[in-house]
Chains A and B, each alone.
Chain A
Amino acid sequence: MSRSTSDTNVDVASLVEDVNLRRVGQYTLVVLFLGFFLVPLETGIMTALKTNEAVARSLPFAPPVGEGFTLENLEYAFSQLTNSFVNSLLMAIPATILNVLLASMAAYGLTMVNWRGQLAVLSLFLVGVFVPYQAVLVPLARFWNNLFPLARMLEPMFAAAPLLQGYHSRLVPLIITHVAYGIPICTILFRSYYKSLPDSLVEAAKIDGASITKIYRRIVLPISKPMFAVVFIYQFTQIYNEFLFSFTLITGSNHPAAPVTLILPAIGASTSGVDFGIRMSAAFLAALPTIILYVAFAEQFAEGLRTESG
């Protein structure tokens, strides 16, 4: 292939050679796939910005022009989603922070300190990554509703707290659930990072007699800042996008504590059919936080995915 032909001093002949059929084909395919991945997003945004009439009349991927352009759908969808946005953030931010901290500690104790039986404990974490959530839904519903109704217990406290509404107590069991089930994957992400650190990093401190806690606080914590960013972005996206736990623990998609993912499927649906202008607006708004995060931290996001696969 033409890996080495990008030298600056190429003569015209080799330049012509470089623009060969294969390269043209290669770029054509790249562009075609750009279309494949972007068209669903593009048509969604275009539809979100059109009036109902324009949606019915124009091509789905054509931009809205003149009278067909409107922001009403976006405004309406936003008014429908505002409360659930707050709920999603109130859920995802604390859950992610707790998750990242606990996972970093667990990975440290399982990687940088050595003890017998470590592999067995680690395997239990590893299996936890892959367990389908369906397998724990019935116990989860029963636990938080019947055996330990934490939300109901906390309700008066939340009703008294400024800025918090009583119904937000529903989010507490949800946060705990997200933290518990997020621990395995976050631990594995941190672990692969800690494993890649050179042994010499902590050896010297160990010889100097630094305690396990001190090594973590003074050496490991400062050095794992980039990994904290990776795991935070990965896990925030996961929790923000999650649906099943909210569905199980917050009954009814119109519950005032429902996060965005729970509200979204119902928006724009009516007995007379689906209003796609509103629906696409809502979908786009719901996705916006993760899209912004993704575009701003694409490398960290990809890094999280690469690490996930071992």
Chain B
Amino acid sequence: MATGDTTESKSVPTEEVVGWETKLRYFLNSDFVRSSPFWGIPFILMGIAVYGGIGYNVVISLTDYAGLGRPTFSNLDFEMYATALSNDAFREAAINNLVLLVAFTTVSLALGLFLAILLDHGIRYKDKIQTIYLMPMALSFVVTAQLWLWMYNQENGVLTVIVTTLGFEPINWLGNPEIALASVIFALVWQFSGYAMVVYLAGLQSIPSDQFEAAKVDGASTVRTYLRIIIPQLKESSVSAAVVLMVFALKAFTFLYALVGQYRPPNGTDILATLMVRQAFKFGKWAYAAAIATMLLLLALSVIAPYLIYQHRQGSL
């Protein structure tokens, strides 16, 4: 940013008698104006879509808009938020959302780290194996949901066959509300842990290998070397992978929708996103849906904002 400041201060001389024409000419010749054709159009398009959209969503959430006709902007109030917060379905969805967010992110990070360490040590065909571990990332939520519906199929899905072969009763993976959320999280971990692995592998490669040698000379075991020396250095990888994974988790709506192809996800797996879409597109309660969406956004911001501030402090923004 330093160079930016100098060019700007050069273009506005500090002498007192500078006519506005001169100022205007300097302004029009500044790098800000000259580079604006490049970033201006994308910025406006993105700004309207993202920030205009968010703003309009908040406004709608304060009305009583119910699909038909126009939203009544005259009675802006927080009624929809109060309705949501006092509603059992909303609270259940919010709790499921938090469980999904935390459990999915933690398990994906742990598995990703484990896979990265596993592959980082003289494994043959490492690149090919890595490609296969990462493959589910290329699939859409909709496809993943179809595959796991079959995996979880109670009659003769793969998991049922394994469970019955081991001599247990078949488990109703998605039908039993007590384990449905865990089943959903497991499928999501299958799809996204490869992502954490890639981030960790990049992190591991940036750590000089002589640290292993040094630890070995000191007689430290491999596990100890990782726990004490290597993993603490992967903090940045962990933070950025965690943030992206949480954003994936907040997008899990599509997966839940595609599991059953209706508005209602399996029992016990309702999250804010599914609740929101159901209220909007099934019941036409647009204002209520907008209020839920605003709260979902706040949840996302509470994850993102600290991350961006952290990045800014690190100087890596």
Question: In the complex the two chains form, is B139's CB within 8 Å of A43's CB?
Answer: no
Question: In the complex the two chains form, is B38's CB within 8 Å of A106's CB?
Answer: yes
Question: In the complex the two chains form, is A306's CB within 8 Å of B199's CB?
Answer: yes
Question: In the complex the two chains form, is A179's CB within 8 Å of B38's CB?
Answer: no
Question: In the complex the two chains form, is A60's CB within 8 Å of B158's CB?
Answer: yes
* CB of B42 within 8 Å of the partner chain: yes
Stretch in contact with the other chain, from B16-24, B27-35, B83-91: B27-35
The interface bits of chain A over 132-171 (1 if a CB of B lies within 8 angstroms of the residue's CB, else 0) are: 1111111111110000000000000000000000000000
**For residue B261, which residues in chain A have a CB less than 8 angstroms away from its CB?**
265-266, 269
A115-B140 contact given A109-B39, A126-B308, A136-B53, CB 8 Å threshold:
no
Question: In the complex the two chains form, is A37's CB within 8 Å of B133's CB?
Answer: yes
**For residue A283, which residues in chain B have a CB less than 8 angstroms away from its CB?**
142-143, 146-147
Distance of A121 Cα from B294 Cα, bound (Å): 23
Say how far B11's CB is from chain A's closest CB, in angstroms: 10
Interface residues of A: mostly helix, strand, loop or mixed?
helix
* CB of A1 within 8 Å of the partner chain: yes
The interface bits of chain A over 92-108 (1 if a CB of B lies within 8 angstroms of the residue's CB, else 0) are: 00000000001101101
Stretch in contact with the other chain, from B167-175, B176-184, B240-248: B240-248
Which residue of chain B is the closest to A114 with respect to CB atoms?
B4
Question: In the complex the two chains form, is B122's CB within 8 Å of A134's CB?
Answer: no
Which residue of chain A is the closest to B139 with respect to CB atoms?
A287
Distance of A125 Cα from B133 Cα, bound (Å): 31
* CB of B76 within 8 Å of the partner chain: no
Question: In the complex the two chains form, is B304's CB within 8 Å of A127's CB?
Answer: yes
* CB of B26 within 8 Å of the partner chain: no
Question: In the complex the two chains form, is B140's CB within 8 Å of A265's CB?
Answer: no
* CB of A110 within 8 Å of the partner chain: yes
Question: In the complex the two chains form, is A276's CB within 8 Å of B140's CB?
Answer: no
A180-B49 contact given A114-B4, A138-B293, A187-B42, CB 8 Å threshold:
yes
Stretch in contact with the other chain, from A66-74, A224-232, A294-302: A294-302
Interface residues of B: mostly helix, strand, loop or mixed?
helix
The interface bits of chain A over 288-310 (1 if a CB of B lies within 8 angstroms of the residue's CB, else 0) are: 00110111001001100110111
The interface bits of chain B over 83-117 (1 if a CB of A lies within 8 angstroms of the residue's CB, else 0) are: 00000000000000000000000000000000100
* CB of B202 within 8 Å of the partner chain: yes
Say how far A290's CB is from chain B's closest CB, in angstroms: 5
* CB of B273 within 8 Å of the partner chain: yes
Q: 8 Å CB contacts to A: which residues of B285-310?
A: 286, 289-290, 293-294, 296-297, 300, 303-304, 308
* CB of A223 within 8 Å of the partner chain: no
* CB of A198 within 8 Å of the partner chain: no
* CB of B7 within 8 Å of the partner chain: yes
Question: In the complex the two chains form, is A243's CB within 8 Å of B50's CB?
Answer: no
Distance of A59 Cα from B77 Cα, bound (Å): 58
Question: In the complex the two chains form, is A184's CB within 8 Å of B35's CB?
Answer: no
* CB of A264 within 8 Å of the partner chain: yes
Q: 8 Å CB contacts to B: which residues of A18-34?
A: 26-27, 29-30, 33-34
Which residue of chain B is the closest to A269 with respect to CB atoms?
B261
* CB of B43 within 8 Å of the partner chain: yes
* CB of A56 within 8 Å of the partner chain: yes
Distance of A144 Cα from B115 Cα, bound (Å): 45
Question: In the complex the two chains form, is B254's CB within 8 Å of A243's CB?
Answer: yes
Distance of A36 Cα from B133 Cα, bound (Å): 9
Question: In the complex the two chains form, is B304's CB within 8 Å of A130's CB?
Answer: yes
A114-B1 contact given A109-B35, A139-B56, CB 8 Å threshold:
yes
Add 20 more A-B contacts to A105-B42, A139-B52, A305-B134 (CB < 8 A). A26-B123, A40-B148, A102-B42, A114-B31, A115-B31, A128-B50, A134-B253, A134-B297, A135-B297, A137-B280, A138-B280, A139-B56, A181-B50, A242-B140, A243-B258, A244-B251, A293-B138, A298-B131, A298-B134, A301-B138
3 tightest A-B contacts by CB? Answer: A241-B140, A109-B38, A136-B53
User: Which residues of chain B have a CB within 8 Å of any CB of chain A?
Assistant: 1, 3-5, 7-8, 30-32, 34-43, 45-54, 56-57, 60, 115, 118-119, 121-123, 127, 129-151, 153, 155-158, 161, 190, 194-195, 198-199, 202, 209, 212, 216, 222, 237, 240-241, 243-244, 247, 250-251, 253-254, 257-258, 261, 272-273, 276-277, 280-281, 286, 289-290, 293-294, 296-297, 300, 303-304, 308, 311, 316-317
User: Which residues of chain A have a CB within 8 Å of any CB of chain B?
Assistant: 1-3, 6, 26-27, 29-30, 33-34, 36-41, 43-44, 47, 55-56, 59-61, 102-103, 105-106, 108-110, 113-119, 121-128, 130-143, 177, 179-181, 183-184, 187, 211-213, 216, 237, 240-244, 247-248, 261, 264-266, 269, 274, 276, 279-280, 282-283, 286-287, 290-291, 293-295, 298, 301-302, 305-306, 308-310
6 A-B residue pairs with CB within 8 Å: A115-B30, A135-B53, A142-B60, A177-B49, A280-B150, A291-B135
